[in-house]
Structure 1
Amino acid sequence: MSRPAVKPARRADAQHNAEKILEAAVTCLSRNPDASVSDIAHAAGVGRVTLYGHFPSRADLIEAALTRLLGQGDEVLERLDLAGDPREALRVLIESSWLLIAQASAVLEAAQAVLAPGRLHELHAKPEQRVGDLIGRGQAEGVFRRDLPASWLAGVMHHVIKGAATDVADGRLDRTDAPRFISETVLGACRPVDEERGPAGH
């Protein structure tokens, strides 16, 4: 009579292992984009055979880790109200999701070595468009500088976030300070430019 419960229990165990492996992949790849399958399996507390049972190759694992992170970021951003002042909306976006963006950037670096460019673009298109659209709206409303492309300013944001994440990991920046430092730096970079006096307000 107990046999019908075996398969659901095994499925639950398998799902738990897959989640542990993905969490370990994100952690390991965020620290080192060249992290090996053995490193990730060890961090997850599973054997290589178990890992390969869920993810047939390192590329499959990296793609799954990146997809997971981007999905988590999308869930966070979907709950945010980004319809008001673009400056405040960008601040809210950064402070709510900077850590997920930093992790995704690190995993993306690993993914660039194993995934086709078209697949990378497909995975990253939605978050890139969200940030680009917000900055573009700010430019249209005159609160963000227009002399640089929105795509460039979005790239600046991602570089600042990645640098902050590295500083936090190396102990040069307190994690609680990172959101404010990032948002102030990025908003300063986006501030409209007065051709004669430089950045507005100076």
Structure 2
Amino acid sequence: MAAPSARSRRRADAERNIARIVSAARASLSSDPNTTTDDIAQAAGVGRMTLYGHFRTRADLVEAALMDALRAGDETLSSLDLTGDAHEAMTRLLASSWEIVAESAALLTAAETVLPAGRVRELHAEPARRMAELIRRGQEQGVFRADLPTPWLVSLVHYILHGAASEVRAGRLPSHGASDMVTKSVQSVLTG
């Protein structure tokens, strides 16, 4: 039986390997949604057996990378000041959200190809909740339209953000100014 310090060292090594693999997967998949697990293992500096020892399938690895990106995004978005006028708060939220979405668009594409659609939506529950609360507040303040249901407006914002990111990645929309276009488009939808 291994000594407690040897087990602790192995556990610490495993945790470092997992962190390196997830970080490499997030970076690699954010550049190319078709990045192979072999490429990710190489970028992480681990062997295939080590990668598959922690992530049995590509879907498991992609989900871990997406969860890591969502955690980082949530840290950024939860620190935003969304108080006061809902229209101005929405502008701040959209600017920060755009940066996160633009960075993770390819990763989301990878996730949508290997994860069930319901799982991708589940993982986005917190950003959707934050957006819904702000839209409801804007409706109560009379600055956002109230003739459409809040869940539908949240979906429209989601589609605009991710659609713009796809257009930038495809080269059909310039990256400079995209944030402003997203904000104008969303505010137009929300104010009717």
2:133 is aligned with 1:141: no
Map 1:154-169; keep pairs closer than 5 Å. 154-169=154-169
Unaligned runs of 5+ in 2: none
Structure 1 residues 59 and 178, CA gap change in structure 2 (3 angstroms): same
Deviation at 1:141, TM superposition (A): 1.4
**CA distances 1:51-109 after superposition (whole Å, capped 9, x unpaired):** 21332222221221121111111101111010111111111011112132345565445
Deviation at 1:123, TM superposition (A): 2.5
Moved more, 94-103 or 179-188: 94-103
Aligned to 1:59: 59
Aligned to 1:153: 153
Structure 1 residues 6 and 156, CA gap change in structure 2 (3 angstroms): same
Structure 1 residues 33 and 151, CA gap change in structure 2 (3 angstroms): farther
Aligned to 1:183: 183
Q: Which SS does the other structure have where 2:124 is aligned?
A: helix
What's the TM-score, normalizing by structure 1?
0.75
Structure 1 residues 158 and 106, CA gap change in structure 2 (3 angstroms): farther
Rounded Cα–Cα distance in structure 2 between residues aligned with 1:108 and 1:40: 16
Aligned to 2:76: 76
Map 1:63-142; keep pairs closer than 5 Å. 63-102=63-102, 106-112=106-112, 114-115=114-115, 119-142=119-142
Letter in 1 for 2:60: D
Task: Decide which structure has greater helix share.
Answer: 2
Letter in 2 for 1:123: L
Moved more, 125-134 or 168-177: 168-177
Deviation at 1:18, TM superposition (A): 3.1
Structure 1 residues 168 and 43, CA gap change in structure 2 (3 angstroms): farther
- Percent identical residues: 48
Higher relative contact order (CA 8 A, sep 6+): 2
How well do the aligned residues superpose, as a CA RMSD in angstroms? 3.0
Unaligned runs of 5+ in 1: 193-202
Rounded Cα–Cα distance in structure 2 between residues aligned with 1:7 and 1:177: 52
How many residues align structurally?
190
